[in-house]
Amino acid sequence: MSYARKLLARGEEITFESGQHWFAVVGHSWWAIILAILALAVLLFLVNPPEASLDGPGELVALVLLLVALARIGWVIWGWRNTEFLVTTRRIIRAEGILNKRMSDSSLEKVNDAHLTQNLFGRIFGFGDLDILTAADELGGIEDFPLLADPVDFKIAMLNQKELLERPDLAAPAYQRQQAPAMRPAEPMSPRAGSDRVTVIDEGTGAAATRSPTPPAGPEPTPATPAAPSSAPGTPAQDATATLERLASLRDRGLITAEEYDAKKRELLERI
């Protein structure tokens, strides 16, 4: 894990990470690169044919200079790889150093302005110098990001995060926000026990209206077909049948005997 990542506070996240462009390696070790090329050329010239040894003073000096140049280049590359420029949800962090670490940071709330300088080569190869002015410049705030890789993206990420920190309601630009799925209209709920009113949502306007529930319409009743009477109303046969039914009821309840019922039945049948 990088040194800067170990210094993140609880809940702090990295939103953009960058470092120095590889041109920084060339800028800090150009003389070592030239020296290494010259020393290597001298060695190739002096040690010829291949079976020749490196016992002469010229060869030894060239070899020492080559090793010094390579050591300088390696040291610069090591330091370049340990240089970190971070934009987090709270701060801007600059960490550098190989054995002795140096870290400086500044709260996004204190950032007042940022000046980006890019020459022609910087626009072609993607590097630039970013100067950040903070409210604590006189106290040693962050002021210099030399040869910053991807400086435009770094500055945009810093300004966006600063705006989000100051205005949390701007969670994302409108064109980046995910469109909320269309909500289905709420279905009317059945009334609770003891309630005779329900709320209905109008699908067109979204307004709620309260009304009494309408009982579901049942199937239309089928008109009953009247049974055909055995005889016309008011006929002697109908009267006799009704009388026999009453007599049977009296007999079943024990109010008359079976003989009396049979006698009445014969009498009624004779009248028909």
Taking only the tens place, the pLDDT of each residue in 212-252 is 555 555 555 555 554 444 444 556 667 777 888 888 888 88
Provide CATH code, domain 5-166.
Answer: 2.30.29
Higher pLDDT, 46 or 50: 46
Distance CA 143, CA 158 (A): 14
For β-strands 208-211 and 102-107, DSSP reports them as: unpaired
- 52-101: per-residue pLDDT in tens? 555 567 778 888 999 999 999 999 999 999 999 999 999 999 999 888 98
Q: Where in the chain is the domain with CATH 2.30.29?
A: 5-166
Higher pLDDT, 17 or 171: 17
Percent with pLDDT over 70 in the chain:
67
Helix ranges restricted to H, 99-253:
120-125, 151-166, 236-252
Flag whether pLDDT at 178 surpasses 50: yes
Q: Which residues contact 265 (CB under 8 A, 6 or more apart)?
A: 244, 247
Of 245, 242, 247, 239, the C-alpha closest to 264 is 247
